[in-house]
Chain A
Amino acid sequence: MRPVVGFAGMTHLGLVSGVCASEKGFMVVCFDPDPSRIAALNGNSLPVSEPQLEQLVANNAERLHFTADAAALKGCDVVYVAPDVPTDDQGASDLRSIDALLEQTFGATRADAVIAVLSQVPPGFTRARAREDRALYYQVETLIFGRAVERALQPERYIVGCADPLRPLPAPYHAFLEAHGCPILPMRYESAELAKISINMCLVASVSTANTVAELCERIGADWSEIVPALKLDRRIGPHAYLAPGLGIAGGNLERDLATVCRLADELGTDAGVVRAWITNSRHRRDWALRVLHQAILSKIDDPVLAILGLAYKQDTRSTKNSPSIALLRSLEPFRVRVYDPLVAASEVPNPRRHAANSELEACDGADALVVITPWAQFRNLQPRDIAGRLRGKTVLDPYAVLDAAACRAAGLVYHTLGAKA
């Protein structure tokens, strides 16, 4: 008999994970102590945006039970505690809400039920909360905003933190994991907690390398996009390596892990110099657009008008946590800005002189420069000649190379992107 699976905490992680479990054919209890959040979910109003998510909720309505009543967890064999853990400006986690939810879950579940912490927690968290009479695990999540459903349905592996990794996993838990057809790696709690951080550190290292060399490319006339294929064909780096330059680390999760490593290193006297260098590089690259805009527009044109496409910190999400777009707009407060984002409301823009455009091209109308700062897929459909026809100026900043560089230049636009000279 297939286990019934519960998820406690219906923010991004818990919701996506629960819905994907139902897609795998499991009966799923989706619990959140906030009745208004559950009411919204029962009314088909999802608090997060992810490709396929709405469709999966509709497809699996019979297997999904959204509830604010913790007693419903009594029927579950496995319960994931999966609230999004908030972070402060320094990337430090606020663990109060997950602690409260974990406590509530211990109290609401059967004594033989498996409880697995799925949220991002610092090393030492799980063992400190383990109980002799309960089966508590920590499972690494590697969801990516904008690709969360894909990652949850087709995980590369499961990393499971255990009190004792030599003891077999409880049958219901193993059955649920096995249904996903990927390797299962049991290890001690601390190793699993650090494995999660290690994965993110490797990603940041790759991106920081890309950013560092891409900036050199911009100065000496090399083109990072020409270099990337050479790196991806190197077996030690690989075809899926994170080598796209960006505007710094954003979204909160990577920053949290870097902050955790720095904190641990400070406490334990180990070296975290390289991590601090990544953080510094991230902050430096975040201001790329401001530097280019200043040089090309702000220092030359009185009272310029600027078109900004994208407010979210990345495509396919409405999250603006540490968004380079919002950071840029904060620096552009004195100026007129015309903003458009497919999901994020213009009310999140701090600028008093903002215009909420209804489309990408309307945002371009009469602007001295266009900044495509979030790489939404739909922006790829923009034709440079249409942009040129609507802009007052010729400057285009397209850090993520969403637009066709050659077509932009052919349309008479001055095209700036990461990793190449304008």
Chain B
Amino acid sequence: MVLLGARGFIAGAIFRSLSAQGFSVLPLGRPDLDLLKPESVGTLAAALHHDDAVVMLAALTPDRGRDIGTLMKNLAMMEHLCAALAKTGCAHLVYFSSDAVYGLGPSRVTEETPAAPQDLYGAMHLARELLARAVAGVPILVLRPTQVYGAGDTHNSYGPNRFRRAAREDGRIQLFGGGEETRDHIHVDDVAAISMRCLMHRRTGTLNLATGRSVSFRGVAELVARQFAKPADIVSVARSGPVTHRHFDVANLIAAFPDIRFIALDEGVARCHTEEMEKG
């Protein structure tokens, strides 16, 4: 199995899971293979075998920019991957997309919900999905994770990881408005476990990666705050947009893996806190 973007937060968890199960994994991070460069096509094609499974996680995430330049770089990375795959083929391509491909209209989301990205990041993932699907003869699975949290996350998106960091550093968590918005938060270990199952089953199509349980940001903040001996303060700042909600209907995920067990948010937040504290 070839893991692209291997130095990332999610890729790291997948690599650990696959390795623990004895799979042969080739992790390729940016220092090993810079997909932004055209010459990466030849390098990757030379490294790939037609019977490999490829997991594509390499992307410039929103914290690296949400502008047109970032969009074009991300598309170039995908273009180079597709060019390499066109040369060698592969047995299974798993593309890590995002729930940002969905709009913020109706709150309930399934895999059948029409994609309606609201920003360039969502548009980028949707375009990359289409690019991947255009590679002839490659069985593809698109995974669209909701907000992923867990120890070791370097991103700073609004949610459990940022709240924990803020609580630790400032002793307070800032919420937009009352933090009424509900979102689904999935632990990175669950993402890794589902990814591994998908790889083992050579699953194709599209799957949302979510738990099916949405919690308000206030609820998340309260969970995080409770992890500290002196609970962090939760303060409200003016919100910039309207309150929106998102609920995932995970029936397809359950139907695919009916014995799947998600890490409950309170347990996951506690686990994340413990692991981060152990790291110092």
Q: Of A280, A284, A291, A335, which one neighbours B254 at CB under 8 angstroms?
A: A291
A290 to B212, CA, bound (A): 13
Q: Which residues of B contact A290 (CB under 8 A)?
A: 251, 254-255, 258
Residues of chain B within 8 A of A294, CB atoms compared: 254, 258, 260
Complex CA gap A211/B82 in Å reads 44
**Count, chain B residues at interface, CB 8 A:** 12
Residue in B110, B251, B259, B261 whose Cβ sees the most chain A Cβ within 10 Å: B259
B249 proximal to A (CB < 8 A): yes
Which residue on chain B has the smallest CB distance to residue A303? B259
Residues of A contacting B258 in the complex (Cβ-Cβ under 8 angstroms): 290, 294, 298, 331-335
Q: Which residue of B lies closest to A301 (CB)?
A: B259
Select one of B112, B249, B259 contacting A299, CB under 8 A: B259
Does A287 belong to the interface (CB within 8 Å)?
A: yes
CB distance from A331 to the nearest CB of B (A): 4
**Beta-carbon nearest neighbor of A287 in chain B:** B251
The distance in angstroms between the C-alpha atoms of A70 and B164, with both chains bound, is: 80
Name the distance in Å between A349's Cβ and chain B's nearest Cβ: 15
The residue in chain A whose Cβ has the minimal distance to the Cβ of B112 is A280
Nearest to B252 among chain A residues (CB) is A287
CB of B251 within 8 A of CB of A298, answer: no
Residues of A within 8 Å of B260, CB to CB, are 294, 298-299
Residues from chain A with a CB closer than 8 A to the CB of B251 are: 284, 287, 290-291
With known contacts A280-B112, A284-B249, A299–B255 Cβ distance under 8 A = no
Residues of B within 8 A of A284 (CB): 110, 249, 251
Bits for A323-335, please: 1 = Cβ < 8 Å to B, else 0: 0000000111111
Does B262 reach chain A (CB closer than 8 Å)?
A: yes
Contact with B along A285-303 (1 / 0, CB 8 A): 0010011001000111000
Candidate in A280, A294, A331, A335 with the most chain B CB atoms within 10 angstroms: A294
B76-112 interface code vs A (CB 8 A; 1 in, 0 out) = 0000000000000000000000000000000000101
Q: Are A287 and B261 closer than 8 Å at their CB atoms?
A: no
Residue of A nearest to B259 (CB): A298
Give Cα A298 to B110, complex, Å: 21
Please indicate which of the listed interface residues A298, A300, A333 has the most CB atoms of chain B within 10 Å of its own CB. Answer: A298
List 23 interface pairs A-B (beta carbons < 8 Å), by A numbering: A283-B112, A284-B110, A284-B249, A287-B249, A287-B251, A287-B255, A290-B251, A290-B254, A290-B255, A290-B258, A291-B212, A294-B260, A298-B254, A298-B260, A299-B259, A299-B261, A299-B262, A300-B261, A331-B254, A331-B258, A333-B258, A334-B258, A334-B259
Q: Using A330-B255, A335-B258 as known contacts, list a sample of 10 further A-B pairs with CB atoms less than 8 Å apart, ordered by residue number in A.
A: A280-B112, A287-B249, A287-B251, A290-B258, A291-B212, A294-B260, A298-B258, A299-B260, A299-B261, A334-B258
Instruction: Give the top 8 A-B pairs by smallest Cβ distance, nearest first.
Output: A287-B251, A331-B255, A299-B261, A294-B254, A298-B258, A298-B259, A331-B258, A290-B254
